[in-house]
Amino acid sequence: MSFFRKESTVRRILSLNPVLLLESPFFVVFLLISASPFLFSEPVSGYEAEFIEDLEPIEYSHQPLSSYSTILKKVIPNVVGIYVGSPIHPRHNDNLSLLEDDNIRSGIGSGLIIDKNGYIVTNSHVLLKDDGNPSEQITVELHNKESFPAEFIAMDKATDLAVIKIDKKFETSAVLGDSKNLEIGDIVFAIGNPHSIGLTVTMGIVSAKGRTNLGILGYGGYENFIQTDAAINFGNSGGPLVDAEGRTVGINTAIYSKNGGNIGLGFSTPVHLVKSVAYDLITYGMKVRGYIGVLPENITDTIRKSFNIPSDLKGAFIRKVPENLPSHKAGIKVGDIITKINNQPIESAEQLRLVISQMEPGTMVTALILRLNRFITLDLTVSTLGEQPIQLRKKSLPHVFIAKLNDKYRKTFKIPKNLEGILVVKKKENASPTNVLQKGMLILEINDRPIKHLKSVSQMLKRGNNQLYIWFQGNLQFIRIFVD
């Protein structure tokens, strides 16, 4: 067992709310779509999320257990019920229809305590109001029926994950396992607050792994679901999927159903993705994703015949490579097939997108590529999706936007090639005149520590006076800033 501290930078099982139905010939998918990628609040600056992990594989035994009560007694105290103060009305879509229930006056879901300082992960859709914003009235009920008002921290539309916080410290938090170790047939438990009747445990197995392209999270979503037949119902949104050793391996997110009830087709977001998103939401207030700038697609029979691709080869076919983005700069071409990233096999376009999205911007990766029936390797640097600067919280660097230094910024601000750091690229219009941070300042060190990652800035700052070593307009100097 270990503590998880991420050093790098950087659906839905519905609650008792009106829900959307995504129709298919045989099933309907119950889901909600959040209205914006990120919503921010102001959590305590400088706090670094800390999770408890146990990443060892399951110890399989041929001796079946007569009861799992001892294991589950340790898990249940970390599961909570979540209640929001107003009904949710999701946005409409031509392919979706609304299931109304006039008797439902509040959202009901579940959550998991993942940090002993009161941080709880759940699904975004559990918290949303009809305007697409999180409810101002969020109540958390613990397993012992003790209730607390909750503060919204942040959410991530692309994974339907959100973090809230209550003003209570716990002796421990949920133990997070390694969803990558799961095997089809492993026993799992779904725990949550179905239909608001109270915390409930159901049992099943892992039915499948790596479910993508289900359309559950909508356009731009990152799907990589664990499928289970453990009974999951309305109100289980945000509750954990737990293995036979009591370790969380997923967050219950979606079901397929003909009528809204459980038919044994449930989907959970794997915990390795949950950890990455929740850590960033707690520590930085947002999720920043890696990006290499390609338009990939799966290898169809037509593509395989047209490009004479071996029948057993799997990968992501590159349909488009926009200019001046990382892939173009590295030499990737239309028609290339990416088969590995850093020795990790890539079997589809969805997997390529997911793998890159979880990488830290600025990371150098090696791609194994099939080009004209010949394998080559190319090194490329992961960028930030959208190339957008990050706005730090007010309690971090005040009133500025920062970005990782790149060739464009280096040329614009005439920064020497031997200097590396984080660049102030914009100053907010309402910034105080006394704010010493200026556009074009390159921050090299914070409190005598070199800056290695864009998102490590928040960790390196402390409350009160901070010393920055900066380059500005040809001069190296120390400046001081005050962090409230």
The verdict on whether 92 is a catalytic residue reads no
Question: Which one of 160, 178, 186, 280 is the catalytic residue?
Answer: 160
- The 3-state secondary structure of the chain, one letter per residue: CEEECCCCCCCCCCCCCCEEEEECCCCEEEECCCCCCEEECCCCCCCCCCEEECCCCCCCCCCCCCCCHHHHHHHHHHEEEEEECCCCCCCCCCCEEEECCCCCCCEEEEEEEEECCCEEEEEHHHHECCCCCECCCEEEECCCCCEEEEEEEEEEHHHCEEEEEECCCCCCCCEECCHHHCCCCCEEEEEECHHHCCCEEEEEEEEEEEECCCCCCCCCCCCCEEEECCCCCCCCCCCEEEECCCCEEEEEEEEEECCCCCCCCEEEEEHHHHHHHHHHHHHCCCCCCEECCCEEEECCHHHHHHCCCCCCCCCEEEEECCCCCHHHHHCCCCCCEEEEECCEECCCHHHHHHHHHCCCCCCEEEEEEEECCEEEEEEEECEEHHHCCEECCCCCCCCEEEEECCHHHHHHCCCCCCCCCEEEEEECCCCCCCCCCCCCCEEEEECCEECCCHHHHHHHCCCEEEEEEEEECCEEEEEEEEEC
The verdict on whether 272 is a catalytic residue reads no
Question: Which one of 115, 125, 186, 336 is the catalytic residue?
Answer: 125
Q: What distance in Å separates the CA atoms of residue 270 and residue 358, rounded to the nearest whole number?
A: 13
Q: What distance in Å separates the CA atoms of residue 161 and residue 156, rounded to the nearest whole number?
A: 5
Q: How far is CA 235 from CA 18, 116, 190, 263, 269, in A?
A: 12, 24, 12, 16, 16
The verdict on whether 328 is a catalytic residue reads no
Sequence-distant (≥ 6) Cβ neighbours of residue 430 within 8 angstroms = 399
The residue with tokens 């500005």 is 472
> Which residues carry out catalysis?
125, 160, 237
